[in-house]
Structure 1
Amino acid sequence: MSEYKYLTGFGGHFSSEDERCPNSLPVGQNSPQQCPYGLYAEQLSGSAFTAPRSENVRTWLYRKLPSAVHTPFLPYAGAKYLSHNWDEQPPNPNQLRWKPFDLPGAKEESVTFVDGLHTVCGAGDARARHGLAVHVYLCNASMHNSAFYNSDGDFLIVPQEGTLDIVTELGRMAVSPNEICVIPQGIRFAVKLKTPCRGYVLEVFDGHFRLPDLGPIGANGLANPRDFETPVAWFDSETYTEFNVISKYQGSLFVAKQKHSVFDVVAWHGNYVPYKYDLSRFMVINSVSFDHCDPSIFTVLTCPSLKPGTAIADFVIFPPRWSVQEHTFRPPYYHRNCMSEFMGLILGRYEAKEEGFAAGGATLHSMMTPHGPDANCFEGASKAELKPERIADGTQAFMFESSLSLAVTKWGAETSQKLDAQYYECWQALKNNFKLDN
Structure 2
Amino acid sequence: MPGFGNEFSSEALPNALPKGQNTPQVCPYGLYAEQLSGTAFTVARHGNQRSWLYRIRPSVQHRPFEPYGPHHLVGDFRSDKTQLTPNQLRWLPFSMEHGKDKDFVDGLYTVAGAGDAGMREGIAIHTYICDKSMHRRAFYNADGDFLIVPQQGRLEIQTEFGWLDVPPNQICVIQRGIRFAVNLPDGPSRGYVLEVYSGHFTLPDLGPIGANGLANARDFLTPVAAFEDKDEVDYIIINKYEGELFAAVQTHSPFDVVAWHGNYAPYKYDLANFCVVNSVSYDHLDPSIFTVLTCQSARPGTAIADFVIFPPRWAVQEHTFRPPYFHRNAMSEFMGLILGEYEAKAKGFLPGGASLHSIMTPHGPDATTVAGVASANLKPVRVADGTQAFMFESCLMVRPTRWGLQHQEHEYWEAWQPIKKTFDPNWKPE
2:197 is aligned, of 205, 212, 231, to 205
Residue aligning to 2:10: 16
2:314 is aligned, of 314, 322, 326, to 322
* Contact 2:77–2:116, Cα closer than 8 Å, also in 1: no
Structure 1 gap segments, 5+ residues each: 1-7
Residue aligning to 1:420: 409
Residue aligning to 1:96: 89
Distance 2:376 2:250 in 1: 64
Q: Which amino acid aligns with 1:101?
A: F
Residue aligning to 2:65: 73
Q: Which amino acid aligns with 1:245?
A: I
Shift of residue 238, structure 1, vs aligned partner? 3.5
Distance 1:239 1:67 in 2: 13
1:134 is aligned, of 125, 128, 143, to 125
Residue aligning to 1:177: 168
Distance 2:172 2:346 in 1: 27
Residue aligning to 1:196: 188
The residue matched to 2:46 in structure 1 has which SS? helix
2:399 is aligned, of 403, 407, 421, to 407
Matched, 1:121 2:112: yes
* Contact 1:246–1:253, Cα closer than 8 Å, also in 2: yes
1:55-70 matched pairs, under 5 angstroms:
55-70=47-62
* Contact 1:99–1:357, Cα closer than 8 Å, also in 2: yes
Consecutive aligned runs of 4 or more in structure 1 exceeding 4 Å deviation: 8-11
Q: Which amino acid aligns with 1:72?
A: P
The normalised TM-score by structure 2 is: 0.97
Residue aligning to 1:354: 346
1:33 is aligned, of 18, 25, 42, to 25
Residue aligning to 2:287: 295
The residue matched to 1:231 in structure 2 has which SS? coil
Distance 1:179 1:239 in 2: 34
Shift of residue 421, structure 1, vs aligned partner? 1.1
Distance 2:211 2:229 in 1: 43
Q: Which amino acid aligns with 2:168?
A: P
Distance 1:10 1:256 in 2: 30
Distance 1:124 1:9 in 2: 26
The residue matched to 2:373 in structure 1 has which SS? helix
Shift of residue 32, structure 1, vs aligned partner? 0.4
Q: Which amino acid aligns with 1:192?
A: N
* Contact 1:344–1:360, Cα closer than 8 Å, also in 2: yes
* Contact 2:233–2:253, Cα closer than 8 Å, also in 1: no
Distance 1:124 1:109 in 2: 30
RMSD of the alignment, in Å?
Answer: 1.2
Distance 2:314 2:2 in 1: 28
* Contact 1:95–1:424, Cα closer than 8 Å, also in 2: yes
Residue aligning to 1:433: 422
CA gap of 1:109–1:436, structure 2 versus 1, over 3 A, is closer
Distance 1:201 1:130 in 2: 17
Distance 1:376 1:250 in 2: 43
Shift of residue 376, structure 1, vs aligned partner? 1.1
Shift of residue 239, structure 1, vs aligned partner? 3.7
Moved more, 84-93 or 346-355: 84-93
Q: Percent identity?
A: 63
The residue matched to 1:226 in structure 2 has which SS? helix
* Contact 2:10–2:260, Cα closer than 8 Å, also in 1: yes
Distance 1:10 1:378 in 2: 43
Distance 2:326 2:340 in 1: 22
Shift of residue 158, structure 1, vs aligned partner? 0.2
Matched, 1:158 2:149: yes
Distance 2:344 2:242 in 1: 38
Shift of residue 269, structure 1, vs aligned partner? 0.3
Distance 1:355 1:125 in 2: 35
Structure 2 gap segments, 5+ residues each: none
* Contact 1:104–1:196, Cα closer than 8 Å, also in 2: no
Shift of residue 422, structure 1, vs aligned partner? 1.1
Shift of residue 169, structure 1, vs aligned partner? 0.2
The normalised TM-score by structure 1 is: 0.95
* Contact 1:243–1:259, Cα closer than 8 Å, also in 2: yes
